[in-house]
Amino acid sequence: MTDSKPQIVDNFGRPHTYLRISLTDRCNLRCFYCMPEEGIELMEKSNIMTIEEIIDLATTFRDLGVDTIRLTGGEPLVRKNFGFLIEELAKLGVTLKLTTNGIVLDKYLDLFQKIGLKKINISLDTLDKAKSIFITKRDYFQRILQNLETALEMDMEVKLNIVLIKGVNDNEINDFIELTRYKNLTIKFIEFMPFKGNKWDWDKGVSKNEILDTISNGFGIIEELKNPKHSTSSNFKVLNHVGSFAIVSTITSPFCDDCNRIRVTADGKMKNCLFANSETDLLTPLRNRDAMDDLIINAIKTKKHSRDGMDVKMEAEHYEQNRSMISIGG
Ligand code: SAM
Ligand code: SF4
**Per residue in 302-326, pLDDT tens?**
999 999 999 989 999 999 999 999 9
Residue 6 domain flag: no
Instruction: Give the C-alpha separation, 30 to 38, whole Å.
Output: 10
Predicted pLDDT of residue 56:
98
Predicted pLDDT of residue 3:
58
Task: Assess contact for 263 and 328: CB atoms under 8 A.
Answer: yes
Is the C-beta atom of 189 inside 6 A of ligand 1?
no
162 CA: nearest ligand 1 atom: 16
- Between the alpha carbon of residue 116 and those of residues 83, 89, 101, 252, 253, the distances in Å are 13, 11, 20, 35, 33
Residues 6+ apart with CB under 8 A from 240: none
The confidence band for 330, taking pLDDT boundaries of 50, 70 and 90, is: confident
- Between the alpha carbon of residue 135 and those of residues 125, 140, 175, 306, the distances in Å are 8, 11, 18, 30
Residue 206 domain flag: yes
Residue 203 domain flag: yes
Is the C-beta atom of 234 inside 6 A of ligand 2?
no
Is the C-beta atom of 103 inside 6 A of ligand 2?
no
Predicted pLDDT of residue 2:
52
Residue 188 domain flag: yes
Is the C-beta atom of 322 inside 6 A of ligand 1?
no
What separation in Å is there between the alpha carbon of 74 and the centre of ligand 2?
Answer: 6
CATH number of the domain encompassing residue 155 = 3.20.20.70
Residue 307 domain flag: yes
Domain count, the chain: 1
3-state secondary structure of 163: strand
Residue 13 domain flag: no
Is the pLDDT at 30 greater than 70, yes or no?
yes
Residue 7 domain flag: no
What separation in Å is there between the alpha carbon of 222 and the centre of ligand 1?
Answer: 26
Plot region of 22 (φ>0 → left; ψ -120 to 50 → alpha; else → beta): beta
DSSP assigned state of 6: P
Instruction: Give the C-alpha separation, 310 to 250, whole Å.
Output: 11
Ligand 1: residue of 135, 161, 202 to mutate (most ligand atoms within 8 A of CB) is 161
**Per residue in 215-244, pLDDT tens?**
999 999 999 999 988 999 999 999 999 999
Atom 20, ligand 1: residue with shortest CA distance: 34
Q: Burial, 123: exposed, middle or buried (Cβ in 10 Å; 0-12, 13-18, 19+)?
A: buried
Is the C-beta atom of 266 inside 6 A of ligand 2?
no
122 CA: nearest ligand 1 atom: 5
**Per residue in 254-263, pLDDT tens?**
999 999 999 9
Is the C-beta atom of 75 inside 6 A of ligand 2?
yes
Residue 3 domain flag: no
Predicted pLDDT of residue 167:
97
Residue ranges making up the domain that contains 259: 18-328
**Per residue in 142-164, pLDDT tens?**
999 999 999 999 999 999 999 99
